[in-house]
Amino acid sequence: MLERYEATARLREINGKQNKSYAVLTFGCQQNEHDSEIISGVLEECGFLPSDINDADVIIFNTCAVRETAEEKVIGKIGALKALKYKKKDLVIGIGGCMTAIEKTADYIFKTFPFVSFVFGTNSVSSLPSLVLNAVLGKRQNGAPDDEIIPEDLPAIRREGYRADISVMYGCNNFCSYCIVPYTRGREKSREPEAIISEAKRAIAGGAMEIMLLGQNVNSYGKGLSSPVTFAKLLDRIASLDGDFRIRFMTSHPKDATDELLEVMAKHEKICKHLHLPVQCGSDRVLLDMNRRYDVKKYLSIINKARALMPDITLSSDIIVGFPTETEEDFEGTLSLCREVEYDSLFTFIYSRRSGTRAAEMVPVSTEKEIHGRFDRLVSLQNEISRRKNEALVGKSLRVLVTGISETDSEMLAARSEGNRIVHFKGSPLQKGSFVNVKITSAKTWSLFGEQEI
């Protein structure tokens, strides 16, 4: 493989004479969305210009493997690229991300789709110039070496100037028994705090109003560093930077949600009072089978502490319905936990068997019909709670960050509250990326409506 700089320089030379372009299609989580910003940065450094997928000379898919439905979607879309390749013989197609980080899946994609130029994993984005160059020169490639240390000099093209996603750590060591992520992203690796803080400073100076700190398990940040530091300390330092911005972070694992973290959240106005704390299930027996390393009592104690320190905190969670060992009684435990916590919002998933994980070997005790019935019951309980909580905000004033024109009504702006609620109100598109105070006038299950306060 050619060094990144050498391959970048050769591609720039080739592209200098022609207007070549690229498109990146992203599946999966925010971590992948951010990785795609880096993929875009690396390709632009090579002289490619952004374009629509139908016109692009280089197409990169950044894939997700978390559930079977996610994988099926990607496979379908790769198949559909054949028509584009037929029209444009020198089209370069690269498939990266979590699916191709699994060797078996990478091999399958490489063999099944001969029009795919190369596949690469989640930790080899710095090899992209070399992979693209080889493809331009007509050579297919199945995989690239993983970066041993985190490359700190990869450029990123931020999708939205007003917000900056910053990865603080990569990978996951938790091996929850149902989850593929530790296999697709490798072991936990934290970035040095100085690198993160200077990236945050640059983003704020460049106009970012919202900083999102990312990691599969952000609050286990810092453990493997030569001078270990807690996520709470990192958060404290970023929240102490000058400027009018706010901070979010994702995802927190309950086993690492310390008092120190909650105290730092409570102390700083700049830190959004929103905690996404996935519980996954409300039964101690299933939590043990899931290898989550906390029980319901411990989880509720974190929630209670968070509410004691921040009475208005917004809480959200992820829940898996139909884990192989989940019985009706276990599921009732989940319902009762949700009734007790009263989350503001919930991401609900039906368990999906991931080959290679420990849960894949477990024998399911419930039928698909039973699991779908449970899923529907959980969703309707949550809808009722979300609606009630949103209605309680009518008459209140919220400080929101304008994200753009509403997708459902082009006459309205869309914005996000500190608790990440969607708020619609009438205003000017020029307000995108600014903070506005909005008085809430009506509420739905998933969103709020209001009027700008002068």
Measured CA distances, 284 to 52, 122, 202, 222, 366 (Å): 48, 33, 44, 29, 18
- Cβ neighbors of 101 (< 8 A, separation 6 or more) are 65, 121, 122, 123, 183, 184, 185, 186
**What is the per-residue binding string for ligand SAH in 252-291, x denoting contact by CB under 6 A?**
-x------------------------x-x-----------
Under rule CB under 6 A, which residues in 204-223 are in contact with ligand SF4?
A: 216-217
Contacts of 18 (CB under 8 A, 6+ apart): none
To the nearest 10°, the Cα dihedral for 298, 301, 305, 310?
Answer: 100
Binding-site partner at residue 32 among ligand SAH, ligand SF4, ligand F3S, none, CB < 5 to 8 Å by type: ligand F3S
Site residues (CB under 6 A) for ligand SF4, limited to 146-175: 172, 174-175
The beta-strand segments (E) located in 311-396 are 314-321, 345-350
Which partner from the list ligand SF4, ligand SAH, ligand F3S, none does 299 bind, CB cut-off 5 to 8 Å by kind? none
Say which DSSP state 267 is in.
Answer: H
Using CB atoms, what's the residue nearest to ligand F3S? 28
Q: Which does 351 bind (CB under 5 to 8 A by kind): ligand SAH, ligand F3S, ligand SF4, none?
A: ligand SAH
Picked from ligand F3S, ligand SF4, ligand SAH, none, the partner binding residue 320 (CB below 5 to 8 A depending on kind) is ligand SAH
Does 32 bind ligand F3S (CB under 6 A)? Our answer is yes
| String of contacts with ligand F3S for each residue 44-73, x by CB under 6 A | --------------------xxx-------
Which two tokens mark 7? 């391959």
Q: Which amino acid is at 195?
A: A
Q: Determine the interface stretch with ligand F3S among 180-188, 196-204, 284-292, 386-394 (rule: CB under 6 A).
A: 180-188
Could you say whether residue 74 binds ligand F3S (CB under 6 A)?
Answer: no
349 binds ligand SAH (CB under 6 A): yes
Q: How far apart are CA 312 and CA 419, in angstroms?
A: 9
Q: Assess contact for 296 and 333: CB atoms under 8 A.
A: yes
Whole-number minimum distance, CB 277 to ligand SAH, in Å? 8
What whole-number distance in Å separates Cα of residue 185 and Cα of residue 127? 16
| Binding footprint of ligand SF4 on the chain (CB under 6 A) | 172, 174-176, 179, 181-182, 216-217, 253
